[in-house]
Amino acid sequence: MAEEQNRVQELIEQIAGAIMTADADDLSSLGAICTSLEQLVGVLQEGRPLGANLATCLNEAVEKIILDECGAVDDPLDIVVHGIAMLQRLQIDFERNGQEVVDDAELMQQIAALAGVETDRGEATAPENGGELTPEAMLAMDVGTNGEG
């Protein structure tokens, strides 16, 4: 368990450092961030669904930036930067309390929207899969005032 936590912390620090120096046009750096986020999802998937879903949404958001599919979003990279900070806070909360709690539901909705997850009055659907709920959509539905579903 300690080794897994060390790996999670290492990946989050690596992602945080990379995003701070990345530019929306730096496809190489953004690709490396996607790779690290995918690795993080793999590590978190078993016992940390909220962190895994946030990392998945962030990965999809970075992919949208790479593909220049952000639509009318003014500064998508800024949303990702704040999302990675949220990921860091989730990690700290988990280390201290053994729980993951999303502390900014509005930011989570922005990340979900950037990642392509539509939210409407607490419900989320991903239109590209025929209306079935994806893990990201479930995460968006679970985000309440205290982050619990």
Residues 76-80, mean pLDDT to the nearest whole number: 95
Overall size of the chain counted in residues: 149
pTM of the model: 0.78
Q: For residues 125 and 94, which has the higher predicted lDDT (pLDDT)?
A: 94
The pLDDT of residue 46 is 84
Q: With DSSP H G I counted as helix, E B as strand and the rest as coil, what are the percentages for the chain, rounded to 5?
A: 65, 5, 30
Residue 148 host element (H or E): none
Residue 123 host element (H or E): strand 123-125
Distance (Å, whole) CA 141 – CA 91: 21
Nearest to 50 by CA among 41, 37, 63, 39: 41
Answer yes or no: is pLDDT of 55 > 50: yes
Answer yes or no: is pLDDT of 5 > 90: no
Answer yes or no: is pLDDT of 140 > 60: no
Indicate the residue type of 44. Answer: L
Distance (Å, whole) CA 49 – CA 14: 20
Residues 104-132, mean pLDDT to the nearest whole number: 65
Distance (Å, whole) CA 110 – CA 79: 7
Nearest to 90 by CA among 113, 58, 130: 58
Residue-averaged pLDDT of the chain:
82
